[in-house]
Amino acid sequence: MDPTRGLDPDEARRRLRQTGPNRLAEPAARPWWRLLLAQFANPLAVTLGAAAAVAGVVERSYREAIAIGIALALNGVLGFLQERRSERAVAELRHMLSPSARVRRGGAVLAVPAAELVPGDVVLVRAGDRVPADGRVLRAANLEVDESGLTGETLPVSKSAVSLDGEAGLADRTSMCHMTSTVTRGSGELLVTTTGTRTEVGKVADLLAHTSTEPTPLQRQLDRLGLRLALLAGVAVVVVAAVLWLAGGSLGEVITVAVALGVAAIPEGLPAAVAVTLTLGMRKMARQRAIVKRLPAVETLGATTVICTDKTGTLTVNRMTARSVWYAGRGRTVASLDGGLDLRDLLVPAVLCGDAVVRDGAVVGDPIEGALVVLAAKAGLDVASERAAAPRIAEIPFDPGLRYMATFHRTVAGTRACVKGAADVLLDLATRVRTELGDVELTRPVRTRLTAEIDRLAHRGERVLAVAIGDASVAPELPADLLLLGLIGVTDPPRPEAADAIAECKAAGIDVKMITGDHPTTATAVANAVGIDGSALSGTDIERLGDESLTQAAVFARVTPEHKIRIVRALRRSGHVVAMTGDGVNDAPALKGADIGVAMGRTGSDVAKEAAAMILTDDNFATIVTAVRHGRTIRDNIVKFVRFQVSTNVAAILAMAAGSVLLAGASLMTPLMLLWVNVIADGPPALALGLEPARPGVMREPPQRAGAQILTGRRLGWITAAGAVMAVGTLAAFGLGSPRGVPTARTLAFTTFVLFQLVNLLNVRDERGSAFGPLLVRNWRLWAAMASVVVLQAAAVHLPAAQGLFGTTALRPVDWLVALAIASSVLWLEELRKGFLRITRRRRTRPCR
Ligand SMILES: Nc1ncnc2c1ncn2[C@@H]1O[C@H](COP(=O)(O)OP(=O)(O)OP(=O)(O)O)[C@@H](O)[C@H]1O
């Protein structure tokens, strides 16, 4: 095989069939039947099973036993379907995260999924890449690799194409690169030797087979809450059972009522509903181009108080265009170029020092270099033939730490170095400059003049590059005598959506800080253009200033990865929840140090993507804001169904406990009615609540504290109050129906309770705003869930078969109206409370004169 052409695509396909995909062993997916069985291994299912057994064996009430069995099965199947949905969502995410590799096949460089690599492929790697398979180094330019995961060696190891004789230990194989190590510097080409489970890491068993399934802080909170409610329910169960027993109920009766009450009073569906809401939320975010890698990050996102963002490509479109040129003492705009070749001496070195090409009108390669190639073509240069005429023999690749790059070319006169980079950096490195008077020493006055010129362009938001040349005696070493040829100002317009997204953050109480490697003046101009106020601190300021000044500044320029870590630490120490973006090889520590590390999906390195908690597939700042909105909405929705479920649970406990005392042992509702309330009447609406759209005010409120309690004392108070109203109403309905006998009274109480739940659903959608706000008509799922519950309830009341089962009797239309009227009380009372809250709030926030 010719390494400059790589494998033939057909041959690669044939080998792939032979060797199998280049993947490490994944944890085997659970078969569906085990997932289904798992639904029945929980306290609810066991209790229901016990209840069915008691009903069937002790009571000999087979119909009841079958009905409980059906409830049990329904609950299990619903859980199974939900969990399958979230498993699929997670699998979909994993698929989106699967890495790709650049490989030479049939003479062209292609990006293919890393899983499709085969032995014999030629893979191109560069700084920031993860090595996709084991391979022998064919070519290396300053190639250094971090193999710590494999060998424990923490320092990067230099790699070269020289092969060692004999068998070397893993750590000494300097001509081999291994799967999962990362390239920390330089670039190179590898000839793949082994793939998948046959690689060195593949042999170290399932090193990577872990995906975190740790419960999120919210889930832990809800677990604790569930435990407390269960204790409360336990007490209620004991009270009700004791009263029934004393009133002469049979053992079987007492047990079934106790079990049904236990089921109705414990919010056992809550943790599952939270998990489903979080994973489905994750999928929705992924579809909107924000891939969240870990579940807890969804919650943290909602609590974000400051977003630190890159500039290039995130706030700007990353489409660079050369706008101004300063050459031989003369500044001009690109628009005024006349096509003459008087810029040839500046532009030839500028394009020699770069690899971007223009193909079919589009730039392939680095956008800055693309801008230079386009400019050169506009000025009449034939870039390809210029590059062919001066072959490159060595290079110093661009490094954000150096802020320049250099290439070395063989010419008739010897070795010529072409350098391009940040203007202020090259101004420091250069010794001479080309002016209208020819090439002169860079004396102090000349420097001042150039600095003023750089500033003038930077003020307009242009990124100022300088081009320099020199004669190199040793390549690749920067010559001591560098001649600065001229300056080129490049613009990169802000993304059209950036300003709106920043305004949204401001309204939501989230600070936005811009952190860039660019020049302070350029950074300030671009920041101000998108609505981030203030002027830039530079890298040296960051080193000098204390935490307080750092947390207050909004724009940081000439920042190194170390500065990013410093900024993240200062912000976190002052109590902020920090989202930080990054794309480079050295950004990983800052990304890990932030609460939410955000990596760029398009331009980001594998290393950054691995360290991040979230990946933006469109590299767009606005997507971070969308993700924050989702994070807040998800938390909001979780609060909604916690309020919904817990008020139902409290109502059930209060109504049944009070009922058993008031009715001297007669039960307010039959066990099956309670099961119905719990399994049928509140399952679908609770799920629909989890999928509610964002509340209109959700981005106009300050961020929630991370880890803030969902059930604060005040909220619990209102939930209990709503529960009490529901309990009293249900008892009243029973009282109204009782002259017509116990079955009618029970049916009326049962129906009222179910309607109470539906009405309360409207209450919990907005904690402060009226239920009749703009949200009312949104979320058809909720209305569909409510409608289906009403239809099912009518069936439970009116169908003869159901009547036999539940002990219901047919209600008159007016009974339904009475039930609805009673049930609506919880809505009017909540509306009153919210109205009152709004008035006092407005009074409190009215400005004093
Ligand atoms: N390909 C390149 N060749 C030479 N110099 C470059 C190149 N790309 C960028 N520079 C210079 O290096 C400086 C820093 O670039 P760098 O890529 O680190 O900034 P950046 O990270 O793109 O900015 P941001 O942090 O906003 O994304 C730029 O201001 C520019 O002057």
DSSP notation for 730-794:
HHHHHHHHGGG-HHHHHHHHHHHHHHHHHHHHHHHT-SSS-TTSGGGG--HHHHHHHHHHHHHHH
Residue 167 has pLDDT above 60, yes or no: no
Residue 334 has pLDDT above 50, yes or no: yes
**Given the DSSP bridges, would you call strands 306-309 and 578-582 parallel, antiparallel or unpaired?**
parallel
CA-nearest residue, atom 12 of ligand 1? 403
Q: Which of 46-60, 81-95, 136-150, 545-559 has the highest mean pLDDT?
A: 545-559
Predicted pLDDT at 844 = 65
Residue 226 has pLDDT above 80, yes or no: no
Q: Is 333 within 8 Å of 457 (Cβ atoms)? A: no
Q: Has domain 216-288+627-845 been given CATH number 3.40.720.10? A: no
The one-letter amino acid at 424: D
The one-letter amino acid at 383: V
Angle made by CA atoms 794, 800, 806, in degrees to the nearest 5: 70
Predicted pLDDT at 385 = 93
Integer Cα distance of 240 and 674 in angstroms: 14
Average pLDDT on 108-137 reads: 89
CATH of domain 1-205: 2.70.150.10
Q: How far is the CA of 525 from the centre of ligand 1 (A)?
A: 16
DSSP state of 42: S
Least confident of 194-208, 349-363, 693-707: 194-208
Which regions of the chain carry the CATH code 3.40.50.1000?
294-316+495-619
Residue 379 burial by Cβ neighbours in a 10 Å radius (0-12, 13-18, 19+): buried
688 pLDDT band, cuts 50/70/90, is: confident
Predicted pLDDT at 204 = 63
For residue 780, what are the contacts with CB-CB under 8 A and spacing of at least 6? none
476 preceded by cis ω (within 30°)? Answer: yes
| Closest approach atom of ligand 1 to CA 366 | 1
Integer Cα distance of 205 and 699 in angstroms: 46
| Closest approach atom of ligand 1 to CA 516 | 25
Predicted pLDDT at 729 = 97
Instruction: Give 625-647 pLDDT, tens digit per residue.
Output: 999 999 999 989 988 888 898 89
Q: Which of 301-305, 717-721, 814-818 has the highest mean pLDDT?
A: 814-818
Q: How far is the CA of 357 from the centre of ligand 1 (A)?
A: 18
CA-nearest residue, atom 6 of ligand 1? 421
Residue 795 has pLDDT above 50, yes or no: yes
CA-nearest residue, atom 29 of ligand 1? 518
DSSP state of 311: S
Angle made by CA atoms 717, 718, 721, in degrees to the nearest 5: 90
208 pLDDT band, cuts 50/70/90, is: very low
Integer Cα distance of 703 and 701 in angstroms: 6
Residue of 709, 700, 693, 680 lying closest to 637 (CA atoms): 693
Residue 445 burial by Cβ neighbours in a 10 Å radius (0-12, 13-18, 19+): exposed
CA-nearest residue, atom 26 of ligand 1? 311
Least confident of 24-33, 195-204, 391-400, 531-540: 24-33
Choosing from 134, 310, 518, 587, which is the catalytic residue? 310
Predicted pLDDT at 337 = 74
Which has more pLDDT, 690 or 534? 534
Q: How far is the CA of 521 from the centre of ligand 1 (A)?
A: 14
To the nearest whole number, what is the mean pLDDT of the chain?
Answer: 86
pTM (two decimals): 0.82
Give the residues across from 414 on adjacent strands.
411
Average pLDDT on 167-193 reads: 80
Which regions of the chain carry the CATH code 1.20.1110.10?
216-288+627-845
Q: Is 49 within 8 Å of 72 (Cβ atoms)? A: yes
For residue 283, what are the contacts with CB-CB under 8 A and spacing of at least 6? 89, 92, 93
CA-nearest residue, atom 21 of ligand 1? 517
Average pLDDT on 768-777 reads: 83
Residue 555 has pLDDT above 90, yes or no: yes
Residue 606 has pLDDT above 70, yes or no: yes
Residue 453 has pLDDT above 90, yes or no: yes
For residue 714, what are the contacts with CB-CB under 8 A and spacing of at least 6? none
To test the pocket of ligand 1, the residue of 351, 355, 395, 398 to mutate (highest count of ligand atoms within 8 Å of its CB) is 398
Predicted pLDDT at 243 = 83
Residue 434 has pLDDT above 70, yes or no: yes
Predicted pLDDT at 207 = 38
Q: The domain 324-331+338-487 belongs to what CATH superfamily?
A: Calcium-transporting ATPase, cytoplasmic domain N (3.40.1110.10)
Integer Cα distance of 535 and 277 in angstroms: 42
Which regions of the chain carry the CATH code 3.40.1110.10?
324-331+338-487
Phi, psi (rounded to 5 degrees) for 304: -55, 130
Q: How far is the CA of 366 from the centre of ligand 1 (A)?
A: 10
Instruction: Give 464-491 pLDDT, tens digit per residue.
Output: 999 999 998 877 888 999 999 999 999 9
| Closest approach atom of ligand 1 to CA 515 | 25
Residue 777 has pLDDT above 50, yes or no: yes
Average pLDDT on 508-522 reads: 94
The one-letter amino acid at 248: G
Predicted pLDDT at 26 = 64
Joined together, the tokens standing for residue 678 give 């719990």
Residue 789 has pLDDT above 50, yes or no: yes
CA-nearest residue, atom 14 of ligand 1? 517
Average pLDDT on 283-300 reads: 87
Residue 206 has pLDDT above 50, yes or no: no
215 pLDDT band, cuts 50/70/90, is: low
Phi, psi (rounded to 5 degrees) for 634: -65, -45
88 pLDDT band, cuts 50/70/90, is: confident
Q: Which of 290-299, 529-538, 712-721 has the highest mean pLDDT?
A: 529-538
Predicted pLDDT at 321 = 94
Residue 340 has pLDDT above 70, yes or no: no
Predicted pLDDT at 126 = 87
Instruction: Give 390-399 pLDDT, tens digit per residue.
Output: 988 888 888 8
Q: Is 675 within 8 Å of 70 (Cβ atoms)? A: no
Q: How far is the CA of 380 from the centre of ligand 1 (A)?
A: 26
CA-nearest residue, atom 8 of ligand 1? 368
848 pLDDT band, cuts 50/70/90, is: very low
Phi, psi (rounded to 5 degrees) for 187: -150, 170
Q: How far is the CA of 449 from the centre of ligand 1 (A)?
A: 23
Q: How far is the CA of 389 from the centre of ligand 1 (A)?
A: 28
In angstroms, what CA-CA distances link 678 with 215, 641, 846?
25, 14, 44
| Closest approach atom of ligand 1 to CA 425 | 31
In sign, the C-alpha dihedral spanning 197, 201, 203, 205 is negative
Angle made by CA atoms 481, 487, 492, in degrees to the nearest 5: 135
**Coil, strand or helix: which one is 817?**
helix
Which has more pLDDT, 428 or 31? 428
Phi, psi (rounded to 5 degrees) for 55: -60, -45
Half-sphere exposure of 116 (CA within 13 A, CB side): 17
Residue 665 has pLDDT above 80, yes or no: no
For residue 7, what are the contacts with CB-CB under 8 A and spacing of at least 6? 1, 15, 105, 106, 118, 120, 121, 122
To test the pocket of ligand 1, the residue of 352, 355, 368, 404 to mutate (highest count of ligand atoms within 8 Å of its CB) is 368
Average pLDDT on 567-590 reads: 90
Residue of 635, 673, 710, 704 lying closest to 229 (CA atoms): 710
To test the pocket of ligand 1, the residue of 516, 605, 621 to mutate (highest count of ligand atoms within 8 Å of its CB) is 516
Residue 419 has pLDDT above 80, yes or no: yes
Phi, psi (rounded to 5 degrees) for 499: -60, -45
Predicted pLDDT at 716 = 87
User: Which residue ranges have their beta carbon within 6 Å of ligand 1?
Assistant: 310-312, 366, 368-369, 398, 400, 403-405, 420-422, 463, 465, 516-519
Percent of the chain at pLDDT > 70 equals 94
Joined together, the tokens standing for residue 539 give 């890298």
| Closest approach atom of ligand 1 to CA 353 | 3
Residue 219 has pLDDT above 60, yes or no: yes
Instruction: Give 57-75 pLDDT, tens digit per residue.
Output: 877 777 778 877 887 887 7
Residue of 831, 749, 820 lying closest to 790 (CA atoms): 820
Integer Cα distance of 814 and 716 in angstroms: 34
The one-letter amino acid at 100: S
Give the residues across from 465 on adjacent strands.
422, 488
Which has more pLDDT, 67 or 177? 177
Topology, domain 294-316+495-619: Rossmann fold (3.40.50)
Q: Is 115 within 8 Å of 22 (Cβ atoms)? A: yes
For residue 828, what are the contacts with CB-CB under 8 A and spacing of at least 6? none
Predicted pLDDT at 282 = 87
Least confident of 153-157, 435-439, 664-668, 678-682: 664-668
Consecutive H or E run containing 15: helix 9-19
Residue 543 burial by Cβ neighbours in a 10 Å radius (0-12, 13-18, 19+): exposed
Average pLDDT on 30-43 reads: 81
Integer Cα distance of 820 and 197 in angstroms: 64
Percent of the chain at pLDDT > 90 equals 43
Q: Is 172 within 8 Å of 162 (Cβ atoms)? A: no
604 pLDDT band, cuts 50/70/90, is: confident
Residue 101 has pLDDT above 50, yes or no: yes
**How large is the ipTM?**
0.96
Our answer to whether residue 310 is catalytic in this structure is yes
Q: How far is the CA of 401 from the centre of ligand 1 (A)?
A: 9
| Closest approach atom of ligand 1 to CA 423 | 31
Q: Is 71 within 8 Å of 63 (Cβ atoms)? A: no
